[in-house]
């Protein structure tokens, strides 16, 4: 009897959604499910931009007028207010990770990446991708975000890096060339002078006079 009870409890835990939120990173929240067989959704939409990865088995994915079966390795994207649904195929134990991103934050990132500030959020035309780098990047970000031992600065930087990559892969803008050597020097000096306290990305950006996405991109290139 105890074995049956323990098995039932494990199954219940596997089918229960897991949420991650952080008061220091209010622009993003994460939802994941290990066993989605008992989790079915009617058509719905979100106010956020949503992006997720199927990590095991298959599901039926509906987004706007597209309907298809997708499997492990697929990345799905839902623009704000896109009507969608994603449910398991037959009795397959599919699992997934989903991120919901604040539209204002993502719009600000789009502006930093080259889109005109006179325009609001630029929607993504693709609803699904099987790009391996995109899939791996989403899973790396998920691991960083849910890790209690990872500091806020790294989580914020990882989120900006990943969503910059999403933007550049799926919805690119043309960025002007810019030599950021002097700004990087100021950023490095600020970090060195303040390394004994908890650093905020916003403070480093202010010291360097660079946007967060530009600062991170310049550091990686350097």
Model pTM score: 0.79
199 pLDDT higher than 90: no
| Residue 217 structural domain | 176-222
Residue 182 CB-density burial (10 A; 0-12 exposed, 13-18 middle, 19+ buried) = exposed
CB distance 2 to 132 below 8 Å: no
Q: Does residue 68 lie in a domain region?
A: yes
Q: What is residue 21's predicted lDDT score, i.e. its pLDDT?
A: 96
What's the pLDDT score for residue 1? 46
| Confidence class for position 179, pLDDT limits 50, 70, 90 | low
Nearest to 58 by CA among 71, 43, 75: 71
In 71-142, DSSP assigns E strands to 75-78, 84-88, 95-101, 128-129
Provide the domain count of the chain. Answer: 2
Pick the last residue of a domain from 137, 152, 174: 174
Beta-carbon contacts of 115 under 8 Å, excluding residues fewer than 6 positions away, are 122, 173
Residues in a beta bridge with 194: none
Residue 36: CB atoms within 10 Å: 24
4 or 48, which is more confident: 48
**pLDDT over 50 (residue 173):** yes
7 falls within a domain = no
- Do 69 and 111 have their domain in common? yes
Q: Is residue 6 part of a domain?
A: no
Is 24 within 8 Å of 69 (Cβ atoms)?
A: no
What mean pLDDT is predicted for residues 121-141?
95
């Amino acid at each position: 009897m105890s074995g049956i009870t323990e098995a039932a409890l494990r199954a219940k835990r596997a089918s229960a959604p897991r949420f991650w939120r952080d008061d220091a990173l209010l622009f993003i929240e994460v939802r994941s499910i290990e066993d989605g067989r008992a989790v079915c959704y009617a058509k719905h939409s979100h106010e956020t931009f949503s992006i997720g990865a199927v990590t095991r088995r298959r599901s039926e994915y509906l987004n706007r007028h597209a309907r298809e079966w997708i499997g492990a390795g697929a990345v799905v994207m839902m623009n704000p207010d896109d009507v969608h649904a994603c449910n398991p195929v037959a009795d397959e134990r599919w699992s997934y990770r989903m991120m919901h991103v604040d539209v204002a934050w993502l719009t600000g990132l789009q502006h930093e990446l080259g889109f005109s500030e006179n325009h609001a959020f630029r929607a993504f035309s693709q609803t699904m991708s099987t790009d391996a780098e995109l899939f791996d990047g989403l899973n790396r970000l998920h691991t960083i975000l849910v890790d209690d031992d990872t500091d806020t600065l790294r989580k914020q930087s990882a989120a900006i890096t990943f969503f910059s990559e999403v933007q550049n892969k799926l919805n690119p803008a043309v960025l002007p060339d810019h030599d950021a050597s002097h700004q990087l020097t100021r950023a490095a000096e600020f970090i060195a002078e303040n390394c004994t306290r908890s650093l905020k990305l916003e403070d480093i950006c202010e010291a360097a006079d660079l946007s967060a996405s530009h600062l991170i991109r310049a550091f990686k290139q350097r």
